[in-house]
Amino acid sequence: MFFKRKKKNKPAIIKVKSSELRKVPVDELYPGMYIAELDIPWEQSSFLFQGFKLQNWDDVDSVAKQCKEVVVDFQQTQQINIQRKGFDNDESNFYKGRANSTKTELDNATNVFGQTTSLVKNIMDDIRLGNVIDTVQTKDAISETVDSIMRSPDAMMMLTRIRDETDQLTAQHSMNAAVLSIAFGKALGLERKKLEELGISALLHDVGKVLTPNEILTKPGMLTEEEFDIVKKHTRDGRDILASNGNLPPGAIDVAYSHHEAIDGSGYPRGLYGHQTTLWTKIISITDAYDDITNDNAYSLGQSNIHAFKILNSEGKKQFDSFLVTRFISVIGIYPPGSIVTLNSGEAGVVIETNPGHALAPVVAIMRNTEGEPIDIKIVDLSQKPEIPAGGINYKVQNILRPDESDIQIATLREKGLLLGA
């Protein structure tokens, strides 16, 4: 999936009297928010009641078509849950069995993440040399990834937001897709063996790009039609590469071939419809697109997770399984680990851990003061309702920033030893 580079456009932060009421631009709305006021008279809108909850993304779109910003009551805001037969809807699955905090797991997770990312790069190098994939090493690496996510999903999730080696972009993207897919599968209640199969499929989904010319993969901006036709070949190449290697889950071959198919049949390479693709393919097509949108790459700047949610939802009716998109959004959460946020104090920092049952109150490492200057990092757990010094009100998240809207580097947290178990 390729997205146009967009111009930098910081949303304005507007102060209101109540700490529970905040003006929010319509492009930052999400289901579950309670709309208290519009920027137009209620009688000029299509809404029947003065004050209502956004039940789904169609409600969000309806507000966006009529307003530029609205006042949200965060005291009445909550997550929206949906169900579909055949899937476990217990959100606690994401944290079930969590043995470690992000702080204690991050050191191990970093090692596993780095080694597995390097493994993907080595796999691609081996393919170029005509060698076969080391399936034993691949399975072992994914098994360790599953172990880490079982212990603390937030640690691995945070690492998906760090990219610092341009020569490993495809490998890092593949690893990110694997982490996101395993975490999503865990939330869906999949058993461990299935999580490992799903993880291997995600890790190898883009292996066909080893045969795509690098000048096309790294070209800034949009591709020409001819260039895009060349990129499309990576699905068939990936199928052929994996089919020639034994001992891989059959699903991995199918995912490599089908992860760009669409629910409405408009995808490639075969134009399959939703009922013709597997669950693994549906899941990985979502995690693949989400990582593309939220991280910097050759053709676009990384966007916030809320922006990614809007794109996934708008495409959900024709490209993705809309139920799985909604569940994925619920699993990732409003403030996932690695999100760069501003607080109502005017300070800024990074979300380092989520709090089950407190979707709007994560743990934040504050790294910038109200003037945007670096400070000694301090950790605040918003679920404990800490007060702003000399402010008399509780800390709350104000906005999510795109990576290019701040000079905050997530890697700084680990470099300073603030997230290690020691």
Task: Please provide the DSSP assignment of 273-309 as one string.
Answer: BGGGS-HHHHHHHHHHHHHHHHS-BTTB----HHHHH
pLDDT tens, position by position, 127-183: 988 888 999 999 999 999 999 999 888 889 988 987 655 557 788 999 999 999 999
CA dihedral 387, 391, 396, 397 (to 10 degrees): -130
Nearest to 422, CA basis, from 103, 163, 208: 103
Q: Is 364 exposed, middle or buried (0-12, 13-18, 19+ CB in 10 A)?
A: buried
Instruction: Reply yes or no on domain 93-332 having CATH 3.40.190.10.
Output: no
> Mean pLDDT across the chain, nearest whole number?
83
The sign of the dihedral angle between the CA atoms of 227, 264, 94, 379 is: positive
C-beta separation of 109 from 155 below 8 A: yes
Query: Residue 5: its pLDDT value, please?
Result: 33
Q: Is the pLDDT of residue 88 over 60?
A: no
Query: Residue 290: its pLDDT value, please?
Result: 95
C-beta separation of 197 from 280 below 8 A: yes
Q: Is the pLDDT of residue 102 over 80?
A: no
Enter the DSSP assignment of 421.
-
Residues of the chain with CATH 1.10.3210.10: 93-332
Q: Is the pLDDT of residue 237 over 90?
A: yes
pLDDT tier at 98, thresholds 50, 70, 90: low
Most confidently modeled range among 9-18, 212-221, 341-350, 388-397:
341-350
Query: Residue 3: its pLDDT value, please?
Result: 36
Query: Residue 99: its pLDDT value, please?
Result: 52
pLDDT tier at 233, thresholds 50, 70, 90: very high
Query: Residue 86: its pLDDT value, please?
Result: 52
pLDDT tens, position by position, 316-366: 778 999 889 988 988 888 899 989 999 999 999 999 888 877 878 899 999
Q: Is the pLDDT of residue 253 over 60?
A: yes
Query: Residue 9: its pLDDT value, please?
Result: 37
C-beta separation of 401 from 342 below 8 A: yes
pLDDT tens, position by position, 178-215: 999 999 999 888 889 999 999 999 999 999 999 999 89
- The more confident residue out of 350 and 56 is 350
0.75 surpassed by pTM: yes
- The more confident residue out of 368 and 13 is 368
Distances (CA, A) of 189 to 164, 306, 359: 33, 25, 20
pLDDT tier at 107, thresholds 50, 70, 90: confident
Of 90-104, 217-231, 252-266, 304-318, the range with the lowest mean pLDDT is 90-104
| DSSP letters spanning 60-124 | HHHHHHH-SEEEEETTS--------TTS---GGGGTTT--S-HHHHHHHHHHHHHHHHHHHHHHH
- Give the span between the Cα atoms of 272 and 122, in whole angstroms: 32
Query: Residue 8: its pLDDT value, please?
Result: 34
Nearest to 255, CA basis, from 293, 207, 308: 207
Q: Is the pLDDT of residue 315 over 90?
A: no
What is the three-class DSSP state of 54?
Answer: coil
Residue 37, strand partner residues: 71
Helix (H) or strand (E) holding 348, with range, is: strand 348-355
- The more confident residue out of 404 and 298 is 404
- The more confident residue out of 61 and 299 is 61
- The more confident residue out of 274 and 9 is 274
Token digits of residue 411: 């890697």
Q: Is the pLDDT of residue 281 over 60?
A: yes
Of 240-244, 254-258, 276-280, 410-414, the range with the lowest mean pLDDT is 410-414
